[in-house]
Amino acid sequence: MNISSASAGDQAGTIVAENLTKVFFSTARVPGPLGAVRSLIHPRRVATTAVDGVGFRIEPGRLAAFLGPNGAGKSTTIKMLTGILTPTGGRVEVNGLVPHKARIANARLVGAVFGQRSQLWWDLPAIDSLRVLADIHGVPPAELRVRLARFDRILELSAFWDNRARQLSLGQRVRCDLAAALIHDPPVLYLDEPTIGMDVVVKEQVREFLREQVEQRGRTVVLTTHDMTEVERLAGRVILINSGRIVYDGDLDGLRATHADAQDPTDLEAIMRHAFTADTDQDLDTLDMEQAVPAG
Amino acid sequence: MTLAAIDPPQLQRQSRRQSQRAWRAARVTLLAEFNQWGRVGSVLFMLLARTCLCFWLWQALYRSTSTSAGMNRSQATTYALLGVFYMSFRSVNRWANRDMMVQHMLDGTIAYWFLRPVTPRRYYCVRALGDLAYGGAWAALAYTVCRSTGLIAAPVSAAAGLGAAGSLVLGLAILYYLQQLIDLACFWTVVNFQLVVMYGIVQNVLAGALVPLWFFPGWFVGFDRWLPFQGTLNVPLSLYLGVLPMSGLVRDLALQAGWIALLAVLTALVWRRAGARVTVLGG
């Protein structure tokens, strides 16, 4: 698909990637004191391809889950979609914009939560952080009140948002970070392992919130996770990525059909193991997946 | 209305400009400090302790002599105390707030700076202004108290006072840009701890913060005159005390302004390069 032609008619919330590639360069260190001197005089540059020719299109108001082992390239892909990382090659358009080139415009149209990395100010009550972020995004006070009330209805933030971020539990902080990411009401939301380390109750609360954002608000959500329950409950579409390449892109039923010869074709975790062992001999201990629970 | 129904070209037209309300992020400093009265108390204690110790030290040093290196007791004490108040401009403990750039680099939260409708450079500036306003309030308070109690001398003339105030503003701008360059180094080195230590030593010595520059040899002061550091502290204080004549005020201010222009261009270029070098550690 040609992005330039696709972008003209794309709606807000559309995400398109074409042959997206990211190569990181680093200096290889030779062990030992002499090696350190050699590295200083003759540094050997090493190229690592984190994402290798990834392409997909996500329509507005859909939730797509990026799945893959640690180091597969999921987070790097998301960071290129957000515009934080500049791709080495290929093209990306989100909301009809090239994110890393139009960072200011892009920032108004996307929100993100990167795992346990919080954008709340450590020594401020969470509500103050949300107010400051609303100011940074230019959200009018009346609109802010409506949005905070909406977030509070499902995420129950008012029970703890007077506490400083440093005093919040992980689950409380991530819920506040979800509100922070959506304070400016962006059409696109990126979530990089948002529920990692959370207890089951909070996870369910976050899932409910995400479901509402997609189904009621029509937000496009891109999610990376190792939690198969989350995938079963939320994702209409899964994109499997391994060693920087897409190995599957489609719905869950298609994935099950493709890997019908997995040990237990009803168990998503077993299907994942099958998919990734078929693709590489990677050590699947790194998958760190939870037991899948069938949908419904 | 669902979000997908919003017209993207309309959204884009509205969204190219930076947020006009982002300056309000300057209040983060005040909110963070006033949420911890212990930290406010520690700033007050440090300011009080430094002022007393500095005053007694210079009184003792001048006990057996009335003039040293051309400066009398009142001038030396005033210089030293103004130096202490000047340090109050940097009262905010960003490290304790987990809000230093190096911490954002290590935590990976620097990513969020690039997801706001304000450039990281402007956000950095807004936050620095918040810090400066808070620290400046402490400095102004200390100055007022010490002037009214006679611990420090008044400026040699009203013109010298105004010249010193103007030079102080320019000096703080130089300090802001130098600090920014040290912080920006994190985009290349991830951590900048050694650089901070080296910069601290160079800045304190060459600005005359540790020891007044009149105790250094003439060639050193002459060489230092063309560097940016003297303009951050020694120049405004020397104007205040009349050590630098008012006849050279325009030249002194022009030199400071020149450094500001140079450093502003340099930091703008570095920010541009830094934006393409963002990495988020740990995936």
Nearest-CA neighbor of B206 among B195, B192, B194, B222?
B222
Q: What residues in B contact A16, CB-CB < 8 Å?
A: none
Q: Average model confidence (pLDDT) for chain A?
A: 86
Q: From start to end of A145-196, where are the E strands?
A: 188-192
- Cβ(B243)–Cβ(B219) under 8 Å? no
* Amino acid letter, residue B237: L
What is the rounded CA–CA span in Å between residue B145 and residue B45?
A: 15
Q: What is the pLDDT of residues A91-144, one digit of tens each?
A: 999 999 999 999 999 999 999 999 889 999 999 999 999 999 999 999 999 999
Asked if the Cβ–Cβ distance from A108 to B22 is below 8 Å, we say: no
Chain A contacts of B119, Cβ < 8 Å?
103-104
- Give which of A133, A135, A225 to mutate to test B binding, by max B Cβ within 10 Å: A135
SS3 track for A186-221: CCEEEEECCCCCCCHHHHHHHHHHHHHHHHCCCCEE
pLDDT score of A5 = 37
State the Cα angle at B90 between B120 and B271, rounded to 5°: 20
Tell me whether residues B15 and A13 touch, CB distance under 8 A.
no
Candidates B18, B36, B114: best to mutate against A (most CBs of A within 10 A) is B114
pLDDT digits (tens, 9 = 90+) for B151-204: 999 999 999 999 999 999 999 999 999 999 999 999 998 889 999 999 999 999
Distance (Å, whole) CA A171 – CA A206: 9
Closest chain B residue to A122 measured between Cα atoms? B97
Model pTM score:
0.89
Chain B interface mutation, best of A108, A131, A146, A150, highest count of B Cβ atoms under 10 Å: A108
Q: Which of A49, A122, A126 is nearest to A89 (CA)?
A: A49
How far apart are alpha carbons A228 and B85 in whole angstroms?
58
Collapsing DSSP to helix, strand or coil, A92 comes out as strand
Contact B3 A217 (CB under 8 A): yes
Q: Which two tokens stand for residue B258?
A: 């020149």
| Chain A positions in Cβ-Cβ contact with residue B3 (cut-off 8 Å) | 12-13, 60-61, 185-187, 217-219
Residue A106's φ and ψ, nearest 5 degrees, are: -60, -40
CA distances, B190 to each of B4, B36, B110 (Å): 39, 30, 11
For A61, the closest of B4, B24, B283 (CB atoms) is: B4
Q: Identify the band that residue A295 occupies on the pLDDT scale cut at 50, 70 and 90.
A: very low
Binary contact (A132, B15; C-beta < 8 A): no
Residues of B in Cβ contact (< 8 Å) with A75 = 280, 283
pLDDT computed for residue A296 by the predictor? 27
pLDDT of residue B10: 58
| pLDDT, tens digit, 9 for 90 and up, residues A163-203 | 999 999 999 999 999 999 999 999 999 999 888 878 888 89
